[in-house]
Amino acid sequence: MEWIGDAVTGQGVTEQRFDVFCEERRVPGILWMPEAAREVNALALLGHGGGLDKRADYILGTARRLVRRHGISAIAIDGPGHGERRSTAGDLAPENSEAEFQKAWSPADATDKMVEDWKAALDAIQSEKGEGPVGYFGLSMGTMMGVPLIASEPRVQAAVLGLMGVWGPNRERLSSDSPNVQCPVRFLAQWDDEVVPRETALELFDRLGTKQKSLHAHPGKHVQVPAEEMRAIPDFLAAHLR
């Protein structure tokens, strides 16, 4: 693990860039901790959506709310083909972002590598900053990454998922792995989602193996999750990680 640059502290939150290395892959990430903390007492893994990165606005907002309101640390990493892992770093053209997305998820082992990247980041942070209960939050592509990770990672004790169904480039893994998700789950769905077909989202929710799951559905398109629903995410995680 390598810490990148100096930590930046403001309004009670310390933010620190890091890289972890998994096989031959560099995985860029960010750690957010309470300003005075030296160790992590609980940790949330934050998975960003497609075409975004570890510093997406809602990822930053969730991380800072976790730290300030609940004293829970958080990390986010760039998914495959996203953020600093794009081959065309700095190119924000939507058509090129879509091409990077397809390229990142096309290999047969893409999901396995993504799970390995997340586990490498979690291992590194726990080794450096201490262990504690772990939660996961990820919508859309964050759920594409999250379901396979949670299914194979007993350290994750609660999760917020959604805006995804048994659909997309790793639909077979989402279908086969979802019954192995056994932690409490809050699942978000947009009833008028123009990206992910509603019936596939309901199927994914139904297939989740946990008995402690709730479905929160709202009118609106893919990116129109109500603000109050987003603000409730840190509270749900905190209730299960304390």
Q: Confidence class of residue 242 from pLDDT cuts 50, 70 and 90?
A: confident
The total of other beta-carbon atoms located within 10 Å of residue 76's CB is 28
pTM of the model: 0.96
Q: 82-96, 165-179, 180-194, 198-212: lowest mean pLDDT where?
A: 82-96
- Rounded to the nearest integer, the mean pLDDT of the chain is 95
CA distance 218 to 166: 19
Instruction: Give buried/exposed letters for 151-190 (b at 16+ CB in 10 A, else e).
Output: bbbebbbbbbbbbbbbbbbbeebbbebbeebbbbbbbbbb
State mean pLDDT over 53-74.
98
Specify which residues 20 forms β-bridges with.
27
pLDDT digits (tens, 9 = 90+) for 212-234: 999 999 999 999 999 999 999 99
CA distance 226 to 205: 19
Helix (H, G, I), strand (E, B) or coil at 27: strand
Q: Please give the share of the chain, as a percent, with pLDDT higher than 70.
A: 96
Q: Please give the share of the chain, as a percent, with pLDDT higher than 90.
A: 90
Tokens of residue 49, six digits: 């959506």
The pLDDT of residue 105: 87
pLDDT digits (tens, 9 = 90+) for 145-157: 999 999 999 999 9
Helix (H) / strand (E) containing 134: strand 134-138
Tokens of residue 98, six digits: 């879509």
Contact between 84 and 28 under an 8 Å Cβ cutoff? The reply is yes
The pLDDT of residue 73: 98
pLDDT digits (tens, 9 = 90+) for 108-157: 999 999 999 999 999 999 999 999 999 999 999 999 999 999 999 999 99
Q: Confidence class of residue 93 from pLDDT cuts 50, 70 and 90?
A: low
Tokens of residue 71, six digits: 């004293």
Helix (H, G, I), strand (E, B) or coil at 148: helix
- pLDDT tops 60 at residue 92: no
Tokens of residue 169, six digits: 């480039």
What is the DSSP code (8-state) at residue 219?
S
CA distance 36 to 52: 30
Tokens of residue 58, six digits: 């809602």
Contact between 221 and 192 under an 8 Å Cβ cutoff? The reply is yes
Instruction: Give buried/exposed letters for 104-116 (b at 16+ CB in 10 A, else e).
Output: bbeeeebbebbbb
Q: Confidence class of residue 32 from pLDDT cuts 50, 70 and 90?
A: very high
**Mode of pairing for the β-strands spanning 185-190 and 156-162:** parallel
Contact between 42 and 135 under an 8 Å Cβ cutoff? The reply is yes
- pLDDT tops 70 at residue 210: yes
Helix (H) / strand (E) containing 171: helix 171-177
